[in-house]
Every structure is written in C-alpha cells, then in structure tokens.
Amino acid sequence: MAITGSGSLPIPLFVFVISVAFLSKGAAETVTVDGQNLATDNVSVIEGETATISCRVKNNDDSVIQLLNPNRQTIYFREVRPLKDSRFQLVNFSDNELRVSLSNVSLSDEGRYVCQLYTDPPQEAYADITVLVPPGNPIIESREDVVSEGNETELTCTAMGSKPAASIRWMKGEEELTGETTVEETYDRMFTVTSRVRFSVTKEDDGVPVDCIIDHPAVKDLLAQRHLEVLYKPEVKIVVSYPDGLTREGDNLDLTCIAEGKPHPHQINWLRVDDDVPPHAVVTGSDLYIENLNKSYNGTYRCVASNAVGEAYDDYILYVYDSRASDGAPQKIDHAVIGGVVAVVMFAILCALIVLGRYFARHKGTYFTHEAKGADDAADADTAIINAEGGHNNSDEKKEYYI
C-alpha cells in the first residue's frame, strides 16, 4: 500500500531521531512492529544551530522509510528529498537508518516530526523538536548611583528574549543574595525575566562587585556586573609627631590628625574637651602645635573631622611631667606579672619548708634510733626499759654485769 505525501513519490512508514551536539536528547521512543524496532528521540536545539534527524529501524524487511515535518509534508522519501527546503540535507541512508541534518534551526521548525515505516498497516513514531533561544545580554540597573553607609540600595537585572525563561542569581562579592523575580511571556512565545534585590550597605561594601548571573540551557557564563559606591563618614586617628617619649615641662608638642572618608573630609577642627585650647597653640590644617608645655595644659585634646555623611573624632590625653622625669616614669603596672612573681615566690618558700621539714625529721629519727639502740640487746622487757633510759652507758653496764 502506498501513501502519498506532498511530493509525487509514494511514502513509506519510518522512524527518525534528532540529535544536536552539546545538548542532551529526550527519551527515545521505540515502536515494535512484527519484530521490527522503530526508534526516535526528542531533542533540544539552540536557535541557529544544526540538528541531525535520524530514523532507525532494526530487522528491516525492505520496508520503505520516510520523514515528515510537523505539517506532514514529506522531507525525505528514502534518499530523495521532495520538500524544497535546502536546509534539510541527507547525511546517511541505508536499510536501517535515514539520517537528515537541519541547519539554521528557527522557532518555526519547532514541533512534532514523524517517522513512517511502510508496512501493512503503516507505522509511525514521533519526535518533538524544542528550539532554545538564549537571552540577550542582561541589563543591571541601580536605584541610585551612590548610597550612604547604613542605607538600603536596590538593584534590578533584566534578561530579555529567551526561551524557555531564564533564571537569575545574585552575588555580592562571595555572598549570595536572594532576589524577587517576575516572568513575562511575550506574544512570540519568548520570555522576559526581571529580578530585584535589596540590601543595606556598609563602608566595607564600597567597591565590592555585585553580579547578576543568568542561568539558561542555551548559554553559559552570562552575567552583568556593577560595583557599589558607598559614602561613609571619616575615620580619625591622632598621631604624635613630637616628642617621641614623655611630654615634659618646657617641651614642644606636635600632633597630626589623620582623617579618611568618602567623600574626603572637608573640615578638620581641634578643640580641648572641657576647656579652651592654649592661646599660643598653633593649628595648621590637620596639625596642632603647642610650645613650652606646662602642667596647666594637661587635658584631652580632640580632633573632629566631618564630610557630607557625618563626623567622627579621636582624642589625645596630654599629661605634662616634671622636666626631671625619666622616660621610664609613666610605666603601667602589670598586675598579672606581679601576681605571677608573688606566686613563684610563695611556691619557692613552700618547697623550702617541705625540704627543711623532711631534713629535721630524718635527723630526729636517727637520734632516737641511737638512743634506743641498747634496748635491742636486752634479754627481757624490764632490761630493755632500763637500757633505753640509760642510753649507751647502761648498755655498757649491762655488758660489764654479765662479764
């Protein structure tokens, strides 16, 4: 029995498989007809790439194989191509396989293709072709160009024109962020995905990259990046330029205020807490200079720096020593060290007492041993008592008595 397709040639029943390099195939569809096995696979192909369509038959009994497109038009009848679409090219034809390539795949090629094997009755197997469309380059936008520390910022990332819909991930440096995602389907079966992320920033976030990463089966390593610009109040530190050691009466004092912030501090002021700065003190920019120190200048001197974000300060406590004071005078007492020394001394004394006690005990025992030595030679208890009380002399008398 002959079946006529869009061409003028008879159409046999056949099976086909479509495969694309670097893309995984769908599950194969196998149809068994009187000992003949027909196999085909679903496949995903990237738009613009080339797909390979393979119709496989086991134990073929010379039945004719043909391939139909989703509109059931004959693409190939055996090795002949009735369809006037030059993108289809014959790769291999044998009794067991009909393999056809389809180049420059587009969305219009998507659908169910039919393999027909001309038997009685004719048999069919089906394979669905899915066309993948990668998204365009993602666009990342920020609600504001710069943000002050402690405030919240919002970033938006958009991936347009993909099929299927892409997924979006966020990374801030090495930290993963969670965004809110919306998906919109357009009239041409394409998808636009938008993700928004919000977080509070600190001064440590200044210059840190934020990545919008696109995950899609048709593309790899697609991302957009934006570096954070964070404004923060100054960090202030007072450095003693002179003197190197103690501040003594008659010496000069030179202090430098180092202040860093974003934006750079526009104002640096020196003041004395709870009192006025000495009248002859000289302030030059970030430096404070006081000459001919005396004890009336003792107090806390403060450097205050400010910018558009806020202000911060650092304190220096001035204590003027006598002119005769040595550099070793202002030593802090380390109570831990003192406690350790006391503990070592007490341990040494305790060890010495133990050694002396054992020494005296040993000598005392030896004396008693010699004193009672005569009792060891006594013939009975009474004699032993007499000998013990008399010491060595009684022992000698005992010996003389027996002689």
- Domain assignment of residue 15, yes or no: no
- Domain assignment of residue 368, yes or no: no
Q: Roughly what angle, to the nearest 10 degrees, separates helices 381-402 and 335-371?
A: 60
Split at pLDDT 50, 70, 90, the class of 29 is: low
For residue 397, what pLDDT is reported?
A: 43
Question: What is the Cα–Cα distance from 269 to 302, expressed in whole angstroms?
Answer: 8
Could you give the C-alpha distances from 226 to 143, 206, 208, in angstroms and in order?
12, 11, 8
Question: What is the Cα–Cα distance from 336 to 352, expressed in whole angstroms?
Answer: 25
- Domain assignment of residue 116, yes or no: yes
Please spell the DSSP secondary structure of 350-396, one letter per residue.
HHHHHHHHHHHHHHHHHHHHHHTGGGGG-SSHHHHHHHHHHHHHHHH
Among 302, 318, 334, the domain-final residue is: 318
128 and 42 in a common domain? yes
Instruction: Tell which wins on pLDDT, 397 or 78.
Output: 78
What average pLDDT does the structure give for the chain? 83
Split at pLDDT 50, 70, 90, the class of 375 is: low
Residue 33 predicted with pLDDT over 90: no
93 and 53 in a common domain? yes
142 and 126 in a common domain? no
- Domain assignment of residue 57, yes or no: yes
Dihedral (Cα; 240, 242, 248, 249), 10-degree rounding: -110
Could you give the C-alpha distances from 353 to 103, 304, 343, 346, 356, in angstroms and in order?
102, 62, 15, 11, 5
117 φψ region: left (φ > 0), alpha (ψ -120 to 50), beta (else): beta
Split at pLDDT 50, 70, 90, the class of 328 is: low
Q: What is the CATH number of the domain that holds 246?
A: 2.60.40.10
Residue showing tokens 């009474």: 382
Residue 161 predicted with pLDDT over 50: yes
204 and 152 in a common domain? yes
Among 132, 147, 176, the domain-final residue is: 132
140 and 128 in a common domain? no
144 and 94 in a common domain? no
Task: Select from 128, 193, 138 the least CA-distant residue to 164.
Answer: 193
**Element of type H or E holding 339:** helix 335-371
Question: What is the Cα–Cα distance from 222 to 137, expressed in whole angstroms?
Answer: 7
Any idea which of 147-156, 217-226, 357-366 has the lowest mean pLDDT?
Answer: 357-366
* Range with the largest mean pLDDT of 19-28, 292-301, 375-384: 292-301
Give the HSE-up count for residue 155: Cα atoms under 13 Å, Cβ half-sphere: 29
276 and 212 in a common domain? no
155 and 74 in a common domain? no
114 and 51 in a common domain? yes
Residue 394 predicted with pLDDT over 50: no
Q: One-letter amino acid identity for 315?
A: D
Q: Give the 3-state secondary structure percentages of the chain, helix then strand then coil, rounded to 5.
A: 20, 45, 35
99 and 183 in a common domain? no
For residue 27, what pLDDT is reported?
A: 53
148 and 126 in a common domain? no
Q: Residue 45's domain spans which residues? A: 37-132
109 and 142 in a common domain? no
- Domain assignment of residue 214, yes or no: yes
For residue 277, what pLDDT is reported?
A: 94
Split at pLDDT 50, 70, 90, the class of 162 is: very high
Split at pLDDT 50, 70, 90, the class of 30 is: low
Residue 140 predicted with pLDDT over 60: yes
**Cβ(300)–Cβ(317) under 8 Å?**
yes
- Domain assignment of residue 252, yes or no: yes
- Report long-range pairs for 173-181 (Cβ below 8 Å, ≥24 apart): 173/208, 173/209, 177/210
Which pair of structure tokens corresponds to residue 21? 């390099």
Residue 292 predicted with pLDDT over 70: yes
- Total domains in the chain come to 3
- Domain assignment of residue 402, yes or no: no
- Domain assignment of residue 378, yes or no: no
- In this structure, what DSSP letter does residue 291 have? -
- Judge if pTM exceeds 0.85: no
Split at pLDDT 50, 70, 90, the class of 63 is: confident
For residue 349, what pLDDT is reported?
A: 92
Instruction: Tell which wins on pLDDT, 396 or 298.
Output: 298
CA 163 to chain centre: 32
